[in-house]
């Protein structure tokens, strides 16, 4: 008896010739179970991802700008005034290292953020777009101390900063 998938019209012959003129009836594939659809994720249509803005760093216990910081502020202001981003709210967030009391660090980080916000306003960025926050020493980029407990000056230097972000419109961030 011939297997089910070969039609009865096939002749037995050498392999190449045996397949010539044969028709094959393949069995129906078993139904494939589809996985459940993932839950819908809110998609912001037409919203581009804003560019990465430069970080402005400060000296220890400092809240003054150097020439490099002023150049970064000019870059941030030009991007913030670009027609693609002009409607976006701007978050200016100050940070500090972990030297000193937490209350002092929070106040220092706020002074830094307010300084940058003021410079952005001076560069013609609308003040009502700017939100100012202080993270104090709670969001370090790098450890303030090495694993053995010794001081990490390079890490602390990275933590004395102000970050500026363009936010999504209300309710979409």
- The CATH code of the domain that includes 129 is 3.30.1330.60
Summarised one tens digit per residue, pLDDT across range 25-82 is 555 655 545 544 444 333 344 556 778 899 999 999 999 998 899 999 999 999 999 9
Q: What is the mean pLDDT of residues 104-131?
A: 97
**Which DSSP string corresponds to the chain?**
---TTB-TTPPP-SHHHHHTT--B-PPPPPPPPPPPPPPP----TTPPPPPPPPPEE--TT-----HHHHHHHHHHHHHHTSTTTTTS-EEEEEE--SSS-HHHHHHHHHHHHHHHHHHHHHTT--GGGEEEEEEETSS-SS-SB-TTS-B-HHHHHHHSEEEEEEPPSTT--
Give tens-digit pLDDT for 13-22: 455 555 555 5
Predicted TM-score (pTM) of the model is 0.70
Q: Is residue 69 part of a domain?
A: yes
- Count: domains in the chain: 1
The answer on pLDDT for 171 being more than 60 is no
Q: Look at residue 126 and tell me if it is in a domain.
A: yes
- Domain range spanning residue 154? 56-166
């Amino acid at each position: 008896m011939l297997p089910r998938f070969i039609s009865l019209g096939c002749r037995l012959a050498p392999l190449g010739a045996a397949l010539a003129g044969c028709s094959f009836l393949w069995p129906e594939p078993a139904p494939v179970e589809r996985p459940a659809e993932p839950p819908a994720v809110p998609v912001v249509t037409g919203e581009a991802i804003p560019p990465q803005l430069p970080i402005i760093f400060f000296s220890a216990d400092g809240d003054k700008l150097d020439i490099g910081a002023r150049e970064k502020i000019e870059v941030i202001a030009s991007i913030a005034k670009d027609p693609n981003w002009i409607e976006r709210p701007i978050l200016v967030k100050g940070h500090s290292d972990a030297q000193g009391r937490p209350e002092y660090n929070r106040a220092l980080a706020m002074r830094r953020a307010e300084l940058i916000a003021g410079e952005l306003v001076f560069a013609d960025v609308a003040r009502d777009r700017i939100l100012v926050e202080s993270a104090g020493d709670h969001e370090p980029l790098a450890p303030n101390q090495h694993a053995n407990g010794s001081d990490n000056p390079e890490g602390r230097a990275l933590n004395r900063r102000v970050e500026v972000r363009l936010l999504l419109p209300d309710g979409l961030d």
